[in-house]
């Protein structure tokens, strides 16, 4: 029995290859005129959803993004690799994970999704919260940091990457699964499909239409470059090492 | 691939899968339905990594795709394009041992035999021939007519009268196959004549004019690729307490290269724009190929120098770009031929 719909929330972030610069006022990272792309972990989530569809386990892959007008570009690219339908919730606001999760909850309810597959975190803020918050709000089981996903008999068997190694969990569907790096390698879109995706429609709405309270819950105080690497020091003995660590307040 | 001089079959398969082998071919026949500029950009981008793969895609789209699209009849297009877009590599067989720049002095004959033609002769320097399953062969049906007897024939690789001979062991673009193609009592039907009998010379000239822009794009990509491989290294490498890239002499070198690449890019894109707009572009195409092949050879050479010792080793990709660049000044019309072509147009402008 195949699942009806998989929802893949995707985020438009600064492209992973870009050398980012901190804004002079330290309020954030410079994004003007900088190349933007789909968050790599979300691309991996899309690839997994498309693979599930190819295996006949899922009928339809739906992508959703919350972002400015230009975010539609990433949806087109994803439709070229197998996303069947996409939803664009337009806003110029920078939403925080809880707000995103609340909006996604409404999308899930509207779409009647059976499974949410998303990247474990976005490479711009590295929050790693949206998937988990969404699971909580929906009161659905969740399996994060997935490096392998199998769906059978109304359950998802997920291998998770944890600090100690790999952990296999079984979650009852519907569930939220967040994708980790080694889950798969996303495919390249073929020229023909890129052209075909141009003609597909995207379901566009504004953030206000969804009636969600998106007030920020925390303030970013400052964004800074990491301290420049100072030279290392060689020590002669273990005792010296321990003394140095004590002096630096590390031990 | 470069060492062995053989292209990885899986790579060729992927070029087909990604839709690069029939960029301008219509949707219905299996292509991507895009315009010339898309093909040019594809060729340029591929050349930034490997000019050999770039030329495979270039020949398929320009030398093979353009004549079939312009002069092929419906039956021929429907027979060949689907295959050329999915799994069959094509090649353009004009040059012979005794006729390169003097292309129309070709000796291959095509003797009429009822509803068929029998081709005899041998072609040389044929790109893609090692992997090809489709050949556009130029032969003369009657040498007493001079070049007006030259006719283009579409030959299936499975034809027992055509075979691929010696594979050249080259300085550069080594994994692109360059072989002899031998026609030995190769029987083709009159349905396999491309366009009109005796018009082959005209088709060849026209195709080569457009193909020239493709080669220019390949050389452009090559120059860019060489610079891309060089800059990060020279920025990071230090001598005498500062990065190589901060020495004025070196700065002058890469500033020059970058400027030449920019100029080349505009020449290539302008020629492409003119072709797409249906405006005259032959002079601009010749200029693009001439200029780009020269600056690419220069860029690759300078990049090897700027990299220093490592640039001379195979551990860095730049020595390959240097070797690959040389062919740009030779094939699809030598630099001297380009100069002659341009001179002809310039003189005409003032007459």
- pLDDT score of A2 more than 80: no
CA distances in angstroms from B184 to A188, A209, B31, B91, B126, listed in the order given: 43, 74, 33, 18, 17
pLDDT at A1: 63
Cβ contacts of residue B108 below 8 Å, gap of 6+?
B96, B119, B120, B121, B122, B123, B137, B138, B139, B140, B183
Q: How far is A22 from chain B (nearest CA, A)?
A: 21
For tokens 């519907």, the residue is A174
pLDDT digits 0-9 by tens, A15-67: 999 988 999 999 889 988 899 999 999 999 999 999 999 999 999 999 999 99
Does the model's ipTM exceed the 0.85 cut? no
- Please provide the size of chain B in residues: 351
- Answer whether A191 sits within 8 Å of B20, measured CB to CB: yes
Query: How many beta carbons lie within 10 A of that of residue B38, not counting itself?
Result: 18
Burial B46-55 (b: 16+ CB within 10 A, else e): bbbebbbbbb
pLDDT digits 0-9 by tens, A99-127: 999 999 999 999 999 999 999 999 999 99
pLDDT at A236: 85
pLDDT at A250: 80
- pLDDT score of A175 more than 70: yes
What are A221's two structure tokens?
């105080």
- Answer whether A191 sits within 8 Å of B23, measured CB to CB: yes
Mean pLDDT of chain B: 95
Distance CA B270, CA B279 (A): 11
Give me the total of CB pairs closer than 8 Å, taking one residue from chain A and one from chain B.
18
Distance CA B56, CA B175 (A): 10
Distance CA B256, CA B263 (A): 11
Contacts of B24 in chain A (CB under 8 A): none
Ordered alpha helix ranges (H), B50-118: 51-59, 65-71, 74-86
Q: Are B125 and B334 in contact (CB under 8 A)?
A: no
- CA A32, A35, A38, A44 dihedral sign is negative
Query: Could you confirm whether B24 is annotated as catalytic?
Result: no
- CA B93, B98, B102, B107 dihedral sign is negative
The pLDDT of A217-225, averaged and rounded, is: 90
DSSP code, position B238: E
Residues forming beta bridges with residue B67, ordered by sequence position: none
CA distances in angstroms from A20 to A17, A120, A230, listed in the order given: 9, 21, 21
The pLDDT of B100-109, averaged and rounded, is: 94
Phi and psi for A227 in degrees, rounded to 5?
Answer: -60, 145
Residue of B nearest to A80 (CA): B18
Q: How far is B211 from chain A (nearest CA, A)?
A: 21
Contacts of A192 in chain B (CB under 8 A): 19, 27, 32-33
Q: Is the peptide bond before A174 cis (omega within 30 degrees of 0)?
A: yes
Q: How confident is the model at residue A248 (pLDDT cuts 50, 70, 90)?
A: confident
């Amino acid at each position: 029995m195949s699942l009806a719909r998989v929802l893949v929330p995707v985020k438009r972030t600064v492209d992973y290859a870009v050398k980012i610069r901190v804004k002079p006022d330290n309020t954030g990272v410079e994004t003007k005129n900088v190349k933007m792309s789909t968050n790599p972990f979300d691309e991996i989530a899309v690839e997994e959803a498309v693979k599930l569809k190819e295996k006949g386990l899922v009928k339809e892959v739906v992508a959703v993004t919350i972002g400015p007008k230009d975010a539609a570009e990433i949806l087109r690219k994803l439709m070229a690799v197998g996303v069947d339908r996409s939803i664009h919730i337009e806003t110029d606001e920078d939403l925080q994970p809880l707000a995103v999760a609340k909006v996604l909850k409404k999308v899930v309810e509207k779409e009647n999704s059976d499974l949410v597959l998303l990247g474990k975190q976005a490479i711009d803020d590295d929050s790693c919260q949206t998937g988990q918050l969404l699971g909580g709000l929906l009161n659905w089981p969740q399996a994060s940091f997935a490096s392998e996903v199998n769906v059978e008999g109304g359950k998802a068997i997920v291998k998770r990457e944890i600090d100690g190694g790999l952990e296999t969990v079984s979650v009852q569907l519907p569930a939220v699964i967040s994708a980790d790096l080694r889950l798969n390698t996303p495919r390249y879109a073929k020229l023909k499909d890129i052209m075909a995706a141009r003609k597909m429609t995207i379901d566009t709405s504004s953030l206000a239409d969804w009636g969600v309270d998106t007030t920020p819950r925390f303030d970013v105080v400052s964004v800074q470059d990491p301290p420049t690497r100072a030279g290392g020091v060689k020590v002669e003995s273990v005792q010296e090492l321990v003394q140095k660590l004590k002096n630096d307040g590390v031990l | 691939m470069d060492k062995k001089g053989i292209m990885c079959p899986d790579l060729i398969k992927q070029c087909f899968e990604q839709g690069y082998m029939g960029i301008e071919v219509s949707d219905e026949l299996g292509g991507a339905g895009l315009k010339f500029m898309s093909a040019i950009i594809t060729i340029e981008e591929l050349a930034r990594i490997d000019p050999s793969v770039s030329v495979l895609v270039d020949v398929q789209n320009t030398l093979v795709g353009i004549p079939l699209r312009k002069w092929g009849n419906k039956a021929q297009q429907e027979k060949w394009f689907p295959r050329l877009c999915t799994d069959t590599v094509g090649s353009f067989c004009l040059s012979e041992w005794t006729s390169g720049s003097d292309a129309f002095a070709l000796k291959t004959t095509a003797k009429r035999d009822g509803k068929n033609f029998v081709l005899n002769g041998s072609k040389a320097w044929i790109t893609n021939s090692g992997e090809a399953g489709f050949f556009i062969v130029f032969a003369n049906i009657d040498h007493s007519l001079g070049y007006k007897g030259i006719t283009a024939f579409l030959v299936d690789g499975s034809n027992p009268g055509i075979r691929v001979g010696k594979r050249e062991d080259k300085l550069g673009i080594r994994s692109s196959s360059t072989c002899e193609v031998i026609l030995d009592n190769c029987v083709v039907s009159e349905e396999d004549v491309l366009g009109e009998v005796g018009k082959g010379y005209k088709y060849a000239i026209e195709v080569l004019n457009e193909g020239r822009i493709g080669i220019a794009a390949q050389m452009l990509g090559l120059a860019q690729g060489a610079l891309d491989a060089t800059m990060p290294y020279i920025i990071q490498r230090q001598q005498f307490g500062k990065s190589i890239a901060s020495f004025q002499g070196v700065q002058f070198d890469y500033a020059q290269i970058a400027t030449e690449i920019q100029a080349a890019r505009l020449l290539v894109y302008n020629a492409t724009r003119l072709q797409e707009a249906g405006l005259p572009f032959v002079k601009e195409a010749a200029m693009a190929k001439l200029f780009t092949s020269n600056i690419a050879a220069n860029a690759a050479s300078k990049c090897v120098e700027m990299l220093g010792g490592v640039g001379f080793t195979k551990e860095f990709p730049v020595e390959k770009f240097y070797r690959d660049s040389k062919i740009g000044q030779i094939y699809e019309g030598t630099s001297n031929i380009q100069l002659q072509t341009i001179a002809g147009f310039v003189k005409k402008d003032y007459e």
